[in-house]
Amino acid sequence: MTTGHSSHATPAQATPVGPMTVVVDLARQGADTPPVLELRGPVDPHRIDAALDRLDRLTARPGRSWHPRLHRTGPGHHTLHLTATGPHERTGTTGPAPFPTGLLADLLTVGPAGPGPAARIEPTPLQRELLADADAHPGIEGWCEQLALTWRGPLDPGRLATAWQSVAEHEKVLRSAFEDGPEPWIVCHRHTGPEVLRFPHGSVQWHALVEADRRRGLDPRREGPLRVTVLGGGTDPARAQDTAPPAGVLLSFHPALLDDWSVRLLLHQFYRAYLADGTLPGGERRPDLGDYARWLAAQDPAPAQQFWQAAPPGPATELTTGDGPHDGTGQIRARLTPGQSERLRAWAAGHGCPESSALHAVWALALYRAGALAGPSEIRFSATVSGRGVLLDGIERLPSALRNPLPVTASIDPTAPVTALLSGLRDQALDLAGYEWVSQGRIRSWTQPATAESPNPARTGSLVVFEHRPHPPEDLTMGLAAMDIQVTTPETLGARTAFPLTLVAHRDEKGGIVLTASCVDTPLADAKDLLTYAVGALRELPHTATPSTTVGDLLALPPTPGRTPPTAPRTRSRPRRRSRPAQLRPAARPGAGTVCLVRGPGTPLSSLTRVAYAYEGPEAVLLLHPPPAGQPAAGPLTGLQGPLVLGAFCGAGQTAYDIARDLVAAGGRPPGMVLTATASPAAEFARILEAVARRTR
């Protein structure tokens, strides 16, 4: 065995056709010894070696590796024994580290990338954190972001689909997805592209289409991080082409692979392909995802670490908790007119600051007021940087997930001049510009190391996003106009993030600044109060702020009379995350036992439901969502009578194994454990679960 294997863009390991299933025998495993595993399905020794190499790298077991011995016990049925070839890794006074059985099962059942070799790229730390955020909030409707535009003029559906496919052939990110399993490498497929949907005029209301698309969301583990939905277009024999209503175009994308800037770049490429009869010239774009990954790996983190450790960011300012609903998501929106927006821009520029610094200042003041604070205080929140201010040639044209939230601290002193607050935030933004590539999780690891109880802390506080957009090249605008086509500037429809409250600011087509607050488990009434003050302050700053105006004067500003308040909140109820198992099928008789299906990140509920329908044994079939952080993994299964079998698809192996280990530690009977690849047919998975259940009766 070799250890320390690492590559930023390598061909996928060849694997035999067909998924693999792993059965774990806990009765034959000690606390620190490797397990005896049953492997069902096609087995390739190279695949086992690759899984063990990645296990060594992921668990950082110095000098410790494993020699596999594979015994064939029948057609498509093998037993895998592991023998240690290095010393035990000690963990303080607690003895040898437990063997990561669940992680190994996940690595063995990772499916092949698809037909033919596919490039595999190591994701950036930022992408890992964004994917973890999405996995940690499975109940939030539509983990995706959306852009919308209006298309006026002829729209050929065939050319539309062909043009987007041509863009996908040139842009590797549009053919990418995260690999199933615990190590989220990016797999770049060969023959795929964005899903393109079209609905005729009058078949559905636009707002209903947007909401349905948001609820559908996007799965980053399925190829295609971008979906294109068109309402209208095509040929309507009942209308002349010049009188046809405009078409609405909705672009939905997953933030772990694309950001707002990237989607606008891809849209420009689509326009170019559409003008060229649906086909782009040339080959794949460079730099691509792999180029950026290699550049990032070559950076020396020491200066960034010293910068953050010299002034470590404190905990984010918590949002107020009023009496409003906490178990839903929603959005509220407000707007500055073009005249108000231009006055704000000129006022900020007169003080040597961009509009974003003014927004950060009034947001900090809104949080200060909401917390009823007094005297000098530090207000902390997160603000995004583009991630494109790095020394990589062509980075401004690279579509990827580069928009990065970084911690910001605003020192609020009611006696200090407003200009001091503004310049302080501007200078802080300049300091952060040199470290746009450093993720917030990495900063936290340098300043607030994770604990065993909280290895991946949830996002706290609020996030402020001020969008800056690439402008379409003039030749594209002229080319579309020559075809009697006019397209509006894409409008941001808010953003779902793991932060309790996200404030997104962008300029609309008329030049007005639009502010959208998106809430997750945050009272909408509190979010509305914050947004109302922030908008009022942005409107009044150019009129009332002078060099002698203090922060206290601005804090005392009342709501501006006669101004239009933010629009009414739009709420959508979100089901509470269940910690108790749900019954998918009752037992045939009392005491028959239980098969518990553990749902992991990225596993569709329908896949587990099909397994329950296909199961023919007498056991009850339950569905278990991963327990919330800090709760015992086996807690929801305490008190179950009869034998127990745990089943899961790839990616939930570690969770299932933690549950099994906790049950055994509590004196329970060792449960059976079956983990299978996501491509396994439901009937075959159910058959193996039934076979293991018979052995545990």
pLDDT at 337 exceeding the cut of 50: yes
Q: How far is CA 482 from the centre of its chain?
A: 40
pLDDT of amino acid 378: 95
| Interval 346-388: pLDDT, tens | 999 999 999 999 999 999 999 999 888 889 999 999 999 999 9
Residue 59 confidence (pLDDT): 63
Q: Report which of residues 520 and 411 the model is more confident about.
A: 411
Q: In angstroms, what CA-CA distances link 81 with 20, 24, 33, 71, 72?
A: 17, 11, 11, 8, 12
pLDDT, residue 548, reads 84
Q: What is the pLDDT of residues 132-173, one digit of tens each?
A: 887 776 555 557 889 999 999 999 999 999 999 999 999 999
Q: Is the pLDDT of residue 695 over 70?
A: yes
Contact between 166 and 278 under an 8 Å Cβ cutoff? The reply is yes
Assign 243 a pLDDT band (cuts: 50, 70, 90).
low
What pTM was computed for the model?
0.72
Range scoring the smallest mean pLDDT among 100-114, 499-513, 573-587, 615-629: 573-587
How much is the average pLDDT of 610-628? 85
- Counting residues of the chain whose pLDDT is more than 90, the rounded percentage is 42
In this predicted structure, what is the pLDDT of residue 186?
92
SS3 call for 68: strand
pLDDT > 70 in the chain, percent: 81
pLDDT digit string (tens) for 677-688? 887 888 999 999
Residue 94 in tokens: 């607690």
pLDDT of residue 235: 57
Residue whose C-alpha is closest to residue 109's, from 566, 670, 648, 669: 648
Torsion of CA 122, 400, 293, 496, to 10 degrees: -60
Question: For every residue of 522-552, which 3-state class applies, written as one string?
Answer: CCHHHHHHHHHHHHHHHHHHHHHCCCCCEHH
Report whether 554 contacts 412 (CB < 8 A): no
What does the mean pLDDT of the chain come to?
A: 82
pLDDT confidence bin for 575, thresholds 50/70/90: very low
Cα distance between residue 42 and residue 336, in whole Å: 62
